[in-house]
Chain A
Amino acid sequence: MAKGLVLVVDDEAPIRDILSFYLKRAGYQVLTSATGVEALEEMGRSRPDLIISDLRMPEMSGDEFCRQVKGDTATQDIYFIILSAMEGTASRISGLALGADDLIPKPFHAQEVLAKVTSAFRLIAMQNEIKRQNRELTSFQQRVQAEMGLAAAFQKGLLPKLPGIANGLRYTHRYLPAAGIGGDIYAVVPLPEGSTALMIADVSGHGVPAALISAMVKTSFENQVRLGGGPLAWAQGMNEDLCRATLAEQFATAWLGRLDPGTNRLHHVAAGHCAPLRLAGGTQGGLRRSEVLRGRGSMLGIDPQFTYTLQEAEFLPGDRLVLYTDGLVEVEREDRTMLEEAGLRRICAELPAETEAAAEAVLTQTLAFNHPAPFEDDVTLVVLDRLA
């Protein structure tokens, strides 16, 4: 098998013949042309891997030929060696400045040319390998990006549809995954008897693994809710589900609640998650003092023996609930401080009456506080209003 295709361009037939003889003997396939114009025609028919060209030729000089080869994206990667009778460093530099890859002074030793051609083909092989790997990487990256796009769309589909209306509640969300796809999830499930099951969760880590688990968290929550019971039973069931399914260091913080409009009570369980804020009369707008719905419980998915504690709060018509994941309040600013729960409470002390406007105000003011630091973690914010 030929080692590669070499095009020899020289107006002197003896030089073409000598080079051709040695190159063929060394196992290369050789084409010859007497002028640059002829060579370009030849290249229209077959693409050489390497060109050895004289500099001084009639019709088209070697300079011009080199410029045309190197100026065309289709041929610029062809390894170009100039044969030059011109003496001196200046002419050698000018040859390379044209874009030639190497230069051999005339008169030359055929062995020297062969050695240069051999080393050039080593380089060509390396370049081809790099190009092949690049192509593979690029196509792999494109495939991954396309899949990530699909996965992100799928994940968005797991979120409640907006505008959210259920059982006398109006809610909206802001969902900002850090890596296009993330480990945050929330759910609002209306129950037949008029109460509503609520869940927000934040899976450890980022990206695809977290997203896969977040889908599982949602399924597990819906299954638990279907089994009946309340937030305490749901938390225990979800903890067992996650312990079975996740690896070490994969777990979720979660907050679960059940809102019963008949009794105006919100029963809730914290599983290592940041405590939601209740704004009594929050749907009227104006100044409100937030109540932190604090709970105490460990993350889901660590130890099936963990137990949880049921908490209870009042939740009246006109009240507002703000659920969030820690990415919202744990951005470190340049002065090394973070918004934290206290800062979020300050922001929530005065929000617009309308649900959508309230969510926007929280996000805008949080971003303004962090500025210029961006969110680093997945961020989810849910504003849920009980209609008066």
Chain B
Amino acid sequence: MIFLKLFIAFFEIGLFGFGGGYGMLSLIQGEVVTHYNWLTPGEFTDIVAISQMTPGPIGINSATYCGYTAVHNAGFDGGMAILGSVTATFAVILPSLILMLLISMFLMKYKEHPLVKAVFSGLHLAVVGLLAAATLLLMTRDNFGTINNPWQFWISIFLFMATFIGTKVMKINPIRMICYCAVAGLLLLY
């Protein structure tokens, strides 16, 4: 029963997918490509590329794409395939939904407790480090190009600086800033 299998596989991915997007990738690959053979390695690479180019979290994107493709490849029609992507997407968010609801309930109740406050004062310091590390880890060739292609490289650096100053100093809305950069990319990096 492919729907049940989809549900179980993506529930597991949602439950054990720590570390957000890219941490989840190897887990998804293991289930979907190696274990169940729902997608070929090439199709999986396509999903990664599409996820980088479309909005939305990569965990959701791959669940939606996989749910559709797996059911479609199993010989069902389009309507059933859409149901497949609903199943997989729902399954991947269900663990977060349950866990986050429990944590939210707990926190609303005990957030004034001195020990809970102490724990969070430690966490606050670490989160700053987490964000700094995330920024540094994304300073890659994939995102900025290389010095061998100076045109793209310096435009990328410029867009980085413009977005930094634009959102931090000039308080431009981040969504508007993303749109500006999309237009800049279309005009300058085509």
Q: Please say whether chains A and B are actual partners in one complex.
A: no
